[in-house]
Structure 1
Amino acid sequence: MELPSRVLHELKVELGYESILLLQNSSNCWIDLKAISETPIINLNANQEIYVQALFRNCLENHMLNVLAIATWSPGHIYSYRAFPRFTIVKRSIWQVKRYFEPQLKDMGGYPIVTMPDNVFPRTVVYKDAQGHYQLSGYLSSFMENFAKTLNATLKISWHQVPRDNEIVKFKKVTRLIQTRTVDIPACISNIALDPDFRNYSHVMEISKWQLMVPLESEIDRTLLVFGGGSQMQIVYAMCLMCLLALLLHNVNRLELGLAPSACCLGALTDPVLRAILYQTLSMPRRPSLRLKITYMLILVSSFLSYNTYITQLETNLVHPLTKPPIRSYQDMRRVGLKILFTDLDKPAMLKAIGKHVLSTNWDVHELVNSSVFQAMRCLPNSSYAYPVTQTMWPFIERKFARQHRAPFRLSKDFTLLSLVPFAIPLSNDSIYHRALNSYILHTQASGLYSFWYRRSYYKLLSIGKMEELPYNNFECNCYLRWIDLYYFWLLYTCMVCLSLVIFAFELSARLIKKIIREQLV
């Protein structure tokens, strides 16, 4: 049977001849066409109306929606079918057709699209409302609900497939439910880099990184900053400088008196040099020689430089306090007693990221837990562990501690496990929603809707109690020196006063004993 020239011309305009002519009913044809189910198909061998109905039912079972049948007993008519909301045969006259292959998913008439969340925070979050009914939140929830509305369909959540207690659904279970057609489109995204078959996924929805979230290094105590200017070596350098200046001044004074050089310079160290380093006044000879002038000039210049260096470092460290050595390797983790917390679901990606040898060598700094415990501890978060996070999870952690003086965690650039992680929705390779979902993904990303749902989900999670935003703390930023900051100075001053009193008491005792001995001799 030949197609009328008018039909050929209109098909050329509508499809550009991108069609397949199915000339006979064979089981091999169904196998070949199932892989390209979205391709328009024309059947020219529809010789009975009962055969047409059976043909279309087979097409629907094999997810082939774009099918036309030309009847041999009625050349002026074409047959097609409407899959949603119920199976219906459509008979049209060739002379009245405006579009041969009408989109089946344009209006599904409330047909249910079955989905299932994977319970990965913050993409999909299962919770109970005030009436005790299970509800779904997260930005993928908004994504799926709006997708169903664009197709005039109903989103049906398969609650009995979702585990409770914050447990993450395993990816193998998701793929099994997709292949058995229990779930049409799962409300989850997966790393397509771990699966070589890209046909089982939609367009890429997110491009992220997989990094470690490590505890922020603690600040050095302000009392130590005030005492040493942020560096213990600075005290050592100052003492060495004082000894050199005292030795120089003592020997210059001895040379002025015509005496030989000496290394005993305790007197010069405690009086003029110590006063100069502490930026205090000191007494100078009335008419010093040139050598003494040069020596005192060196002492004053050293005093000026050391004092201003100390003040500059102190002011800088009080505004931006120094922290302890950062965590940049597995050895640093062992030094501070830190462990990486992860789940069985993360183990394949971890093996791909760092390799089996590195993981086995550093297994002592890893701890394996179930997904519910992992998500609970990461949302707190517990600073006793480091956690692998993506770029979608990390902003939620940042927002939680936005009002705090210092966030307890930071995103480590030294532990970038995967620098490129493309996420997409897993689908069956013959899914009827492939083209509609891909188009919808592109539109939501181009319009900014996807980013809007992502930002809005944070406030939704706040409202249902799945996320909290910590309040402002009472920490005084850039505060002046406090009495407690001078703790070591007060301690040193007290020790020196006590030592002076002991020496004074010893001198009084010695004088008293000497007087008693003298009286006895008399």
Structure 2
Amino acid sequence: MALSWLVIFLSCFGQMSAQFFKNTQPSDIELEERLLRVLLRLNLEEEYNTVLVYGEECVFQSLLRHLGVPTILVASGSTNYDWSFSTSTLILTCKFDAENEENSKTLLNLQRNRRLVYLQENIPHESVCNKYALKEQHNIAMVKSNFVQSDIIYSCRYFQTPNYEEKRFFEHQPIYIENFLNMHGSAIRTVPDLLVPRTMVYRDKKTGETKIQGYLANLIVTYAQKLNASLEIVNITELGVQKASVLDITNWAKEDKLDIGTALSSSLQFKSSDVVWYPYLLTGYCLMVPVPAKLPYNLVYSMIVDPVVLSIIFVMLCVFSILITYTQNLSWRNLTLANVLLNDKSIRGLLGQSFPFPPNPSKHLKLIIFVLCFASVMITTMYEAYLQSYFTRPPSEPYIRSFRDIGNFTHRMAISRVEVNVLTSLNNSHFREIKKDQLLIYDDWSEYLGLRDSFNTSLIFPVSEDRWTTYEEQQKLFAEPAFYLATDLCFNRLMFFSPPMRRYLPHRHLFDAHMMQQHEFGMVGFWRRQSFLVMVQLGLGSMKDLSHKRDIAASLLLDDISWILKLYLGAMALSVCCFVLELSRCSERWSRFWRPRR
């Protein structure tokens, strides 16, 4: 009797087991097929070439052989190495808490990657999205175990309530949401560095709000407007600082106290790209040198007298003297040193003056005189042109050609302590060429900038080519330019500036794209050209002529021709001496003195 009951029980259990497998096994197969279609669709929306699976064995792992892409399984939920694979990686998670990545570089590299979470339990979607939001991972999609029946994919969204959205798989909508294209008024925290003209803070008279302008501030403002976000200026007094420097803003970005700094960190100041990213400006770091003073008018005469040209004129004088002396008598009898060097016709002819023409001259003498007159016209015209042009615009004193030449001039180079530390840490070869006694180092950054903005022509200043554009625009209002940019005196010819950002900023890629678009449409160049006018409008710039204009007299002064008068007096003294010697018949007495000896 007991045996019969055992047989009946086993037969019933077998029928129930068969019915159970009949109902569940096809359902699992159908789920796998549906999930495989989801993965293939994700590959069509955004191609991935690597699959990263977190968690223990689940339904995803049975699908991987059908994808045909490299797969990495992380059962423990964390890797112990830096992620160096392609960024086009799809992350699959078998449980919402299976991903426990601890490697900071891996977290940064995989921050924006798409994640597909398989929820086996009935877990609230809000809590799953909140968990990933705390890690600032926002491309999250979820499917449940009843995905075959519901056909619903849950995508996390932010800045809205609820923080997820239901999507039907067969409605052909994008599965993932680009959350930061509309931030719905959420704040972007920033701190301006107050360095004109890149950032200028002012208070709007109509609304009373604090606003910022400048070619860098405009970039941040337009970016917040593009994302429909608000711009929150962090109160730096709460951070223990009265005025923020670039180093302070960069450190606050490292500490996640702000999102994007309204400042520019140079490539000379940082070695890692964790807090800076796409370069906003490419520029050089050169010297801003005072324009050399003009030579005084009394030195103009010495400038136009070139030794080579004088030598050529002297040779022409000797040649014409020899030719004139020979052709007059067709003999070398009268050819003496005095007739060559002090030939009256040759000297007066080269100076463009009249001289007595011999009677009945030969054809050869006429030709020589014609060439002499032509040479005199060329010489006098050349010197007169040089003299008039130099009096109109006198030449300048020598320019500084190298860093070592700074020690040979009276100018010293003013530089801030921050720049000295940076150049010293980089062991800049050009900076080492400048002697220490030629440096005037300022510990106060504001004092140094104020001195540079005052156009103090007794000093040399280092400046970026980007900042020089504003100085150049301002000097267009000067009667004479006070400084020029020495492009051959550069500490660094290719230096890039980038706004500091916090490390895990989730919309960093949108900010980089925004910067590139502003450059592409020419907005950055336009903002830079208008910087000086904006400074004047806000009262931060002046249209006064800060150059030291040279006073030009209405006519020449006696001091301007002092060298000519000195030469004239010397020549007159020499002429008087020769005349006295002739009156005293010195030559006859000298010849008598030598006759007895012969």
Shorter-chain TM range is 0.7 to 0.9
Q: What per-residue deviation string (whole Å, max 9, x for no partner) do you get for residues 189-228 of structure 1? A: 2234654433543322222222212112222234433x34
Q: Please point out which of 395, 402, 409 is paired with 2:469.
A: 395
Render the CA deviation track for 1:313-341: whole Å, top value 9, x for unaligned. 23444565422221112343222212222
Match of 2:251, as an amino acid?
R
Q: Which amino acid aligns with 1:191?
A: S
Structure 1 equivalent of residue 590 of structure 2:
none
Q: Which residue does the alignment assign to 2:236? A: 160
2:276 to 192, 201, 204: 201
Could you state the TM-score of these two structures normalised by the residue count of structure 2? 0.69
Note if contact 1:166-1:375 (Cα within 8 Å) is conserved in structure 2: no
Report how far residue 238 of structure 1 moved: 9.0
2:256–2:503: 8 Å Cα contact kept in structure 1? no
Match of 2:4 in 1: none
Q: Does 1:448 align with 2:522?
A: yes
Report the AA paired with residue 224 of structure 1: L
Q: Paired residue for 1:101?
A: 176
Cα distance change of structure 1 residues 45 and 211 upon mapping to structure 2, 3 Å threshold: same
Write out per-residue CA displacement over residues 76-101 of structure 1, whole angstroms, 9 at most, x where no aligned residue. Answer: 244343322x6743251535672321
Query: Secondary structure of 2:304's partner?
Result: coil
CA-to-partner distance for each residue in 1:127-177, whole Å, 9 max, x for gaps? 567799754221111111110011000011124269999966132x22321
The answer to whether the aligner puts 1:64 opposite 2:64 as a matched pair is no
Q: Indicate the residue corresponding to 2:460 in structure 1.
A: 386
Q: Which residue pairs with 2:397 in the alignment?
A: 324
C-alpha distance 133-236 of structure 1, shift in aligned 2 (>3 A): farther
CA 1:165–1:22: 2 relative to 1, 3 Å: closer
* One-letter amino acid matched to 1:345: V
Structure 1 match to 2:101: 29
Over residues 477-498 of structure 1, what are the superposed CA-to-partner deviations in whole Å (9 max), with x where a residue is unaligned?
xx9994449941797299759x
State the one-letter code of the partner of 1:329: S
Q: Is the 8 A contact 1:44 1:71 kept in 2?
A: yes
Determine the C-alpha separation between the residues in 2 that align with 1:168 and 1:368: 20
Q: 1:218 to 1:165 in 2, by over 3 A?
A: farther
> Closer, same or farther in 2 for the Cα pair 1:35/1:363, shift >3 Å?
same
Matched residue, 1:114: 189
Alpha-carbon contact 1:209-1:421 (below 8 Å) kept = yes
Counterpart Cα distance in 2 of 1:297 and 1:246: 11
**Is the deviation greater in 253-262 or in 460-469?**
253-262
CA distance in 2: counterparts of 1:299 and 1:459, whole angstroms: 61
Q: Distance in 1 between matches of 2:283 and 2:463?
A: 10
Q: 1:272 to 1:134 in 2, by over 3 A?
A: farther
Q: Does 1:11 align with 2:42?
A: yes
What is the CA distance between 1:67 and its match in structure 2?
1.2
User: 1:510 matched to which residue of 2?
Assistant: none
Structure 2 equivalent of residue 371 of structure 1? 445
2:91 maps to what in 1?
20
Instruction: Tell me the SS of whatever aligns to 2:184.
Output: coil
1:230 corresponds in structure 2 to: 304
Paired residues in the alignment total: 498
**Aligned with residue 216 of structure 1, among 274, 288, 291:** 291
Q: Does 1:145 align with 2:218?
A: no
Contact 2:120 2:144 in 1 (8 A): yes
Letter in 1 for 2:260: I
Q: 1:9 to 1:169 in 2, by over 3 A?
A: same
Secondary structure of the 1:368 match is strand
User: Following TM superposition, by how much is the alpha carbon of 1:66 offset from its aligned partner in structure 2, in angstroms?
Assistant: 1.0
Distance 1:274 1:464, change over 3 A: farther
**Separation in structure 2 between the aligned mates of residue 487 and residue 472 of structure 1, nearest angstrom:** 27
Q: Does 1:304 align with 2:377?
A: yes
Partners of 2:42 and 2:323 lie apart in 1 by 106
Contact 1:206/1:424 (CA < 8 Å) preserved in 2?
Answer: yes
Q: Hey, what's the Cα distance between the residues in 2 that align with 1:162 and 1:247?
A: 91
**For each residue in 1:428-467, what CA deviation from the matched residue of structure 2 results, as whole angstroms up to 9, or x when unmatched?**
3321121111221222222222223222333211211223
> Take 2:256 and 2:400, find their aligned partners in 1: how far apart are those partners?
47
Output the amino acid matched with 1:23. Answer: C
**Secondary structure, in 3 states, of the residue corresponding to 2:279?**
strand
Report the residue type matching 1:467 in the other structure. Answer: G
Contact 1:211 1:415 in 2 (8 A): yes
Partner Cα distance (1:15, 1:153) in 2: 27
Comparing 400-409 and 210-219, the one that deviates more? 400-409
Assess, with a 3 A threshold, how the Cα gap between structure 1 residues 151 and 241 changes in structure 2: closer, same or farther. Answer: same
Aligned to 2:61: none
* Greater mean deviation of Cα atoms: 372-381 or 249-258: 249-258
Distance in 2 (alpha carbons) for counterparts of 1:196 and 1:236: 59
Q: Which has the larger radius of gyration?
A: 2
**1:267 Cα shift?**
11
Instruction: Please state whether the residue corresponding to 1:29 is helix, strand or coil.
Output: coil
Give me the CA root mean square deviation.
Answer: 4.6
Residue 29 of structure 1: how far off its partner (Å): 3.2
Could you report, residue by residue, the CA deviation over 1:209-258 in whole angstroms, capped at 9, with x for unpaired residues?
22212112222234433x34634648965995698589869987999999
Gaps of 5+ in 1: 508-522
With 199-208 and 231-240 compared, the bigger mean Cα shift is at 231-240
**Aligned partners of 2:258 and 2:502 also within 8 Å:** no
**Residue 179 of structure 2 aligns to a residue in which SS?**
coil
Gaps of 5+ in 2: 1-27, 49-88, 581-598
Query: Comparing 137-146 with 182-191, which one deviates more in the overlay?
Result: 182-191
Identity value in percent: 18
In the superposition, the TM-score normalised over structure 1's length comes to 0.78
Aligned partner of 1:520 in structure 2 is: none
Q: Secondary structure at the match of 2:461?
A: strand
Specify the alignment match of 1:337 in structure 2.
410
**Does the C-alpha gap of structure 1 residues 232 and 134 become closer, same or farther in structure 2, counting only changes over 3 Å?**
farther
Structure 1: distance between partners of 2:377 and 2:356: 17
Q: Is the 8 A contact 2:186 2:229 kept in 1?
A: yes
How far off is 1:39 after superposition?
Answer: 0.7
Contact 1:229-1:314 within 8 A present in 2 as well: no
Name the residue aligned to 2:586.
Answer: none
SS at match of 2:437: helix
CA shift in 2, pair 1:435/1:281, >3 Å? same
Q: How do 1:407-446 residues align onto structure 2 when only pairs under 5 Å count?
A: 407-446=481-520
Q: Structure 2 counterpart of 1:337, which letter?
A: T
Given the superposition, is the C-alpha separation of residues 128 and 248 from structure 1 closer, same or farther in structure 2, using an over 3 Å criterion?
farther
**Is 1:362 paired with 2:362?**
no
> Which residue in 1 is equivalent to 2:259?
184
Compared CA separation, residues 373 and 244, structure 1 to 2 (3 A): farther
Which whole-Å CA distance do the structure 2 matches of 1:280 and 1:424 have between them?
70
Q: Is the 8 A contact 1:344 1:368 kept in 2?
A: yes
Any conservation in 2 of the 1:174–1:186 contact (CA below 8 Å)? yes
Mapped partners of 1:65, 1:185: distance in 2: 19
How far does the alpha carbon of each residue in 1:323-360 deviate from its partner, in whole angstroms, 9 at most, with x for none?
22211123432222122222233235534777268527
The alpha-carbon distance between structure 1 residues 448 and 170, as it changes in their structure 2 partners (threshold 3 A), is: closer
340-349 or 460-469, larger mean C-alpha shift: 340-349
C-alpha separation between the residues in 2 aligned to 1:277 and 1:488? 23
